[in-house]
Amino acid sequence: MKYYFAPMEGITLYPLRNIHKEMFGEGVDKYFTPFVTAAKTYHFKKREQRDILPEFSRAFADYRTEVVPQIMGNHAETIIWAAKKMNELGYKEVNINLGCPVATVVNRHKGAGLLEDPDRLDQMLYEIFDAREKENLPFDISLKTRLGMSDEAEATRLMEIYAKYPISELIIHARIREDYYKGAVRLDAFNKAVDTYKAAGGAAPICYNGDIGSINMTSKQAEFANQDADRLNGQHDGAGLDLAMMPASIANDSFNLMIGRGLLTNPALVRELRGGEKLSAQELSIYLDRLYEGYEEYIPEDRNVIFKMLEHWAFIHVHFKDCDKYLKAIRKSRSKGEYKAAVRDIFSSCEFI
Ligand SMILES: Cc1cc2nc3c(=O)[nH]c(=O)nc-3n(C[C@H](O)[C@H](O)[C@H](O)COP(=O)(O)O)c2cc1C
């Protein structure tokens, strides 16, 4: 079974990828970048392009296979253009985003918006794989999808379409677009979709995604998380999915697993799932310090660096028992000094769980 760090816009950028890889990355097989837009202008946004430059993948023995850039687009030509550019940078695999639920994306028929019109999606995939074959392009193409737009029954047709193409992997977030990232994952529908995919001749490995990593938030903690992470729009609503509780078909070796928020909550989650040591307070403290330094190089102002760290604290705080007062201080910090002092306080005053 392989483990992947999920793409998360604004979060799984290269500072996090490198630091996580160095400290906890031993059992993490691939890191997916947040999506890079394949625009009609045939230009990448500067910020997005910077994130995939190989020179920033210093922690990876072979970024070509360990880092997978994700493409967001809705035209075969632009997606193929973007994939070629990524391949020129060395990447051996690109991933196509067929799952982003954000309204501005969906309304432009991108991300999960592509699931709305299966015929068009089919045509787009046909053109992409046709171009790859005709031009003999040497890279793999994987897909990251949901089970549908507004009804999980849509998965049947989608899986039949995916089965037609030589994709390298099918990553399925076990929700529909209208779920965003909330509510219980649709495990039955996921299993059914996998059966459909295989029955239709689909041969690519399947990767399960959704809610892996058990967390137990108190309602107070959840409130804190919601205040700071509203913009993350996908929040654990207190119920993470414990791998041990998952149906055997998912928790066994037949699927690879992609984890997003679970790894933000517990950066050592993959190590733990592979039978390794539990996260310690000391390593978490070092991890947070290193992230701060990483973001400092990446973002100019203290306040913005702190804002980035708060995105992590929205998940990390579950490790500290009865810590409201200390979390508040972290949230209120406005300078590096204040932030560091507040973080020192929480580590020295609260029980680590
Ligand atoms: C803030 C945020 C940003 C995300 N950005 C992306 C993205 O750029 N591309 C993508 O395919 N999925 C994105 N996702 C979805 C995650 O990759 C993943 O599918 C989702 O969080 C469910 O997995 P999890 O429960 O393990 O977190 C994002 C999710 C969140 C919460």
Q: What spacing in Å lies between the alpha carbon of 274 and ligand 1's midpoint? A: 22
> Rounded CA gap, 66 and 346, in Å?
34
Which amino acid, 187? L
Q: Atom 28, ligand 1: which residue's CA is nearest?
A: 8
Answer with the residue of higher pLDDT: 169 or 236: 169
| CB distance 236 to ligand 1 below 6 Å | no
E strand or H helix at 307:
helix 302-316
User: What pLDDT score does 243 carry?
Assistant: 54
Using pLDDT thresholds of 50, 70 and 90, give the confidence band for residue 222: very low
Mean pLDDT of all residues belonging to the chain: 90
**Closest alpha carbon to 7 in 87, 96, 82, 110:** 96
Is 181 close to ligand 1, i.e. is its CB under 6 Å away? yes
User: Is the per-residue pLDDT at 121 higher than 50?
Assistant: yes
- Contact 140 CB / ligand 1 (< 6 Å): no
Distance (angstroms) between ligand 1 centre and the Cα of 258 equals 10
pLDDT in tens, 321-349: 999 999 999 999 999 999 999 999 999 99
pTM of the predicted structure, to 2 decimals = 0.92
When pLDDT is averaged across residues 45-67 and rounded to a whole number, the result is 97
pLDDT of residue 216: 36
Please compute the mean of the pLDDT values over residues 105-114 and round it to a whole number.
97
Candidate from 145-149, 248-252, 264-268 with smallest mean pLDDT: 248-252
- Tokens standing for 337? 């000094």
What are 343-348's contacts with CB under 8 Å, separation 24+?
Answer: 343/285, 343/288, 346/320, 347/281, 347/285
Q: What is the dihedral of CA 99, 103, 105, 108, to 10 degrees?
A: 120
pLDDT value at residue 254: 77
pLDDT over 70 (residue 282): yes
